Structure 1
Amino acid sequence: MTMNIKALLILLLSVLTFSSCTTDIDDEIRISSATEISDFVYRGLNFWSLYKGDVPALANDAFASDGERREFLEQFATPEDAFEALKSQRDRFSILRSDYIELENALAGIRTSTGMRFSIVEDPNSNNLFGVVRYVINNSPAATAGVERGMLFTAVDGVALTDNSDLNAIFGADAYTINLADYDGTNFTLNGNDIPLTQAQLNINPVHKVSVTEVQGKTIGYLHYTGFTNEFDTQLNEAFGTFKASGVTDLILDLRYNGGGSIETANDLCTMITGQFEGQEFITQEYNEDRNPDNEFTRRFNNNLGSGNDGPAINSLNLNEVQVITTGNTASASELILSGLRPYISINQIGTTTEGKFEGSFLLYDAPAPNFRRSDANLGHRYVMLPLVLKSINADGFTDYFNGIAPNTEISENAFNLGVLGETSDPLTQAAYDAILGRRSSIDLDFPRLNSAYESDENDLLYQRMIVD
């Protein structure tokens, strides 16, 4: 009995002690005001923004004191308002988020998605819209439900898609059903096939499709790669291991839906394609005039995964030519493949002009300069910035491609004839095969060019971002 009382007293004392400690910690955490968060936004952009010189308020002598700066920031109702006001008009890609966990998950390849990647396109014969499935993420709800590339749908949950539809709300729902349709060249007709889809948290492997084909004495490798996510660099290297073991002589690199990601992964991918340029310049990273003297950095071809020499050996093909498929959805780190390799090998770019994104970013938390690192972050909020901090310049000095990089062979995707990725039923893949085999192209280019009203990737936090790592 005495022992039970003693044990009870010890337990009670422990609970009280824990409660006291918790209260002390809670007392130390004070929720930041909007102006205080706006001040973080200001400090981060003042220190790192690539286009700092375009914004007079970001000049180092813009305010005589911290109090004057605070008075300036108090005019903004929210940190988002301050952020938009302090961005350069040239800056299309910097972002501010209220919860850094979202961005950290996105950087790790974790997304909430049905797994269906699609475009909503204007119907040329009406005010209606229709959806076309571009591809389906492997092992996703959409893949399980039987969604396939090339499927068309004109309604969601039984409601027709029109130019008045709230597309963000429709496709942001936790679950919805697409109503499939057939197209006869003039009109769409619902065909009675409906596919219910649910959103799920996915850890997306961007190595979407790998194949090797023997044609006329050529061994042709095909890679559909959807994002430069460094957590999957091993899988990317394994794909090139397959190519190398198969004796691949020619490569089709399909980046048509790749919005970018890690600069280091882009560097490694270029080495996988080549391998004969160890130590030579890949790109130079140039910062704003305040930061550049201490931070300008030249990345070089390196035959090991990662930035050092102690990573796994890269599987290289030692190619002198590569076929690269692009569209307007090809951006940032994807464009680095084109830019970074052009001084060294021949690139036959097939498709349409890329986005035009040569700037890179890294996360800034509300912490002291220069690092703004998470471990020192203010606990009073979870805001984080991913601002443009550098521009990439290739070994020939090529940069500032605001209007994108144009293809050698221009072919648009035909929403009504997409074919299978990596197979010659896909006109863009067919064009790559024609180039490799020296054949005259017989691709039918007589089809309507349709305007896109919405891209599913637009809701991706890292859509068209280039990440410094």
Structure 2
Amino acid sequence: MEVSNQQVTGFLSLHVKKATVSIAAIILAACGGGGGNTAVPPVTVDPGSGWVAGQYEDWRLNSMRNICANPRTTGGYSDTQGSVTDENFWIRSYSNDTYLWYSELPDIDPGTVNSNQDYFDLMVTDGLSPTGNAKDQFHYNQDTEAYNQSYLGVSAGYGVRFFVISSSPPRKIIVGYNEPNSPASENGLSRGAEIISIDGEAIENSNNVDALNAGLFPETLGEAHTFVVRDLNAAEDRTFTMSSAEITSVPVKNVATFDVAGTKVGYLTFNAHIKPAETQLIDAISQLKASNVEELVLDMRYNGGGYLTIAAELGYMVAGPLTEGLIFDELTFNDKYTERDPINNNILEPSRFESTAAGFDALTNPTPTGTALPSLGFTRVFVLSSGGTASASEALINGLRGVDVEVILVGGATRGKPYGWYALDNCGTTYSTIQFKGSNEKGFGDYSDGFFPVVSGDLSGAEVTGCLVDDDLSHALGDASEGRLAAALGFIETGACPSDSASAFGLTDKSSTDAPHPLSAVSGKLIQPDLGTVVVR
């Protein structure tokens, strides 16, 4: 969960670190970083750093904060000249004071690590979840300017999200989706297309991984690379050159209705809880309400999170007045902060379902603060999910279940991130370190290993009634024959998970004797990296 300095704003898992790491590490970091303590680099920067084990200065003091190795001279920041060691001292104090599991952190001399990135990576627990996974898989930092732009829905690249089926030879990378008005959409690079080669290097088996990564995720704007792709169901490959550009994300797409055995079903793709999503969700729900839909399918399979307030607004738009005054997500910090939050010193109060718009400052068409939200008044909602469904998306699932709205989960287990933080800048880097855990109206928040679709689940645990369905890259998102959407529509018609979701209620024109498309049921990870990310090995 991520929080601004003004309000609790959401579970963040939109970004990955720029680092020379393998695809496995990047997928682990898809919600903001990997976990676990690593060895201290054997470099002594300043043996006279002044470090005293167990003694910590207040990170809020002017003598601690924004004392920088490379002070910013523009933008109105209060940076003053310092060193890497000074920045490490701030990271150490900030982590010890606010980290949810601060008692599990090592106390390392800031003068013995010559990189802020390396030092911050050490300020993380190596504890495990109940199932043996790393307890903290979401520890990360990011350039502040890039961070701020990302929450406005602005990033750099081609405007495409790649689905990695295999990151090492024989590699296989498929397009998951694209953004409108982007280099990818302008070149017809759409869901299901396979990337065959980049700049003459074969994706499947090239040893030149530097060239592959440079082409997939260019370092700078305006960088041109030549792609050979095989479009979905195409007999031949095609070649084109694509240049990186500034991309404006459209988080809400494919708003549609379906008639399923006389029941009108609404659908929308929702990919990120970012600022533009507020108005886009209001418009989508208003459109579906005007269409008199009786059921709703929220496709959040690729929604890694964002602003918690937007999730609370969507929760109200789904369930309506029955949620008014009820807890959407209640935050618990470490034992140093039981009454006030550690950043703003505000009295701790639960986040409640929001019946009016917060008024996020989106770049275009922002909704005025206090605008009444539309609502459907549903007591059941279908959520299409995967391991990429995390943070604010999971908070939405949990929040709705907390007020007895039945959630039917169709797809795969979610990421497992009931945690969050205030994203805080120091010296041009925004640090995200877990500071609190969220729980719903019923007090439940123990889903650190994700929500799991099962044949029959209750409203208190991490098991959720639903259907296990692999991702279907052979159909567009929002296509009624796409495997996960088809399964949800089939459940609406029959009350159960269909054995053949694509044909269970006549939404496909293929003969039952046809072999399934090789991309109709795939496993892998959709990655959403920054510029310069290394993804193949």
Whether 1:160 aligns to 2:196 is no
Give the equivalent residue in structure 1 for 2:248: 203
Give the equivalent residue in structure 1 for 2:11: none
| Structure with more helix by fraction | 1
Aligned with 2:349 (options 297, 302, 308): 297
Alignment partners' CA distance in 2, 1:130 and 1:232: 31
Whether 1:55 aligns to 2:55 is no
Give the equivalent residue in structure 2 for 1:74: 111
Contact 1:112 1:199 in 2 (8 A): yes
CA drift of 1:317 comes to: 0.2
Whether 1:225 aligns to 2:270 is yes
Whether 1:345 aligns to 2:408 is no
CA drift of 1:32 comes to: 2.5
CA drift of 1:431 comes to: 0.6
Alignment partners' CA distance in 2, 1:319 and 1:29: 50
Whichever of the two has the greater Rg, that structure is: 1
Whether 1:457 aligns to 2:528 is yes
Contact 1:129 1:154 in 2 (8 A): no
Alignment partners' CA distance in 1, 2:202 and 2:117: 34
Alignment partners' CA distance in 2, 1:284 and 1:422: 33
CA drift of 1:160 comes to: 0.7
Whether 1:127 aligns to 2:169 is yes
Alignment of 1:288-437 (within 5 A): 288-295=334-341, 296-306=348-358, 311-343=370-402, 344-366=404-426, 381-407=427-453, 408-415=466-473, 418-437=474-493
Alignment partners' CA distance in 2, 1:74 and 1:239: 53
Alignment partners' CA distance in 2, 1:29 and 1:129: 45
Give the equivalent residue in structure 2 for 1:237: 282
Give the equivalent residue in structure 2 for 1:4: none
Alignment of 1:30-49 (within 5 A): 30-49=80-99
Q: 1:168 to 1:93 in 2, by over 3 A?
A: farther
CA drift of 1:31 comes to: 3.1
Percent identity over the alignment?
Answer: 27
| Paired AA for residue 336 in structure 2 | D
| Paired AA for residue 426 in structure 1 | E
Alignment partners' CA distance in 2, 1:29 and 1:253: 44
| Paired AA for residue 43 in structure 1 | S
Aligned with 2:295 (options 229, 247, 250): 250
State the number of aligned residues: 400
Aligned with 2:226 (options 154, 164, 177): 177
| Paired AA for residue 294 in structure 1 | R
CA drift of 1:193 comes to: 0.8
Q: 1:170 to 1:96 in 2, by over 3 A?
A: same
Larger RCO: 1 or 2 (CA < 8 Å, sep 6+) = 2
Alignment partners' CA distance in 2, 1:135 and 1:349: 21
Contact 1:305 1:313 in 2 (8 A): yes
CA drift of 1:127 comes to: 3.4
Give the equivalent residue in structure 1 for 2:17: none
Alignment partners' CA distance in 2, 1:132 and 1:383: 32
Structure 1, residues 87-118: CA drift from partner, whole Å, max 9, x if none?
22232212223x31111111222111211111
Give the equivalent residue in structure 2 for 1:465: none
Mean alpha-carbon deviation: is it higher for 301-310 or for 83-92? 301-310
Q: 1:214 to 1:82 in 2, by over 3 A?
A: same
Give the equivalent residue in structure 1 for 2:190: 148
| Paired AA for residue 298 in structure 1 | P
- Unpaired segments of 5 or more residues in structure 1? 1-22, 58-68, 367-380, 462-469
